[in-house]
Amino acid sequence: MTSPSISPSANSSQGWFSYPIRVQPHHTDYGGIVWHGTYITWLEAARVEALAAVGIEFADLVAIGVDLPVVDLSLRYHRSLRLGDRAIVYARLLPTKGVRLVWDYSIEPLDNEASNRAESGVHKSARQKGGSDRSYVTGQVTLAAIDPKRGKVLRRYPPIFTEALEKLRA
């Protein structure tokens, strides 16, 4: 007996990574909806799994002296998710100069197509503008790259990380 299998997946042709979520009791607040800060945990998990999907384990990155603290975060809440709801966090890297990473997000309903194809990558041709009418939450999160031991901003990434980012942006 197996429950429906929904796993993180990336679709390199579109540059969007999809991360499925499901609202558990601890995500909700007194209003019966997802507490607004809960989304931050999902955005974080989505970008960690997006990096993992192109071969970069975040823990390994930290171990070699590259940390990626959040320096800027902006979110817009359009509609509420409720207890038991399933949804997809869509995440993509925006083009940036220098060593900042800007992630663009849209959390959207898990539609039938996504549900059927969740393991093999999701085509999102209909929502390329970033954020659709159906979005629960849209936003951007900016990360700096630092050397955590010295507390200094990095001038450049390790080559292996640069290559992985290119895959994500492809």
The catalytic residue positions are 29
Q: How many residues sit close enough to its own copies to count as binding (CB under 8 A)?
A: 58
- Using H for helix, E for strand and C for coil, what is the string for 15-34? CEEEEEEECCHHHECCCCEE
Min CB(144)–its own copies separation in Å: 9
87 is an interface residue for its own copies by CB under 8 A: no
Closest among 43, 44, 14, 25 to 107, alpha carbons compared: 43
Q: What's the sign of the alpha-carbon dihedral 20, 26, 29, 35?
A: negative
Q: Any contact of residue 41 with its own copies (CB under 8 A)?
A: yes
On the 0-12 / 13-18 / 19+ scale of CB atoms within 10 A, 112 is exposed
User: For residues 122-141, which are near its own copies according to CB under 8 A?
Assistant: none
Given the rule CB under 8 A, which residues bind its own copies?
1-12, 22, 24-26, 28-33, 35-37, 40-41, 44-45, 48-49, 52-54, 57-60, 62, 67, 69-77, 80, 82-85, 119-121, 148
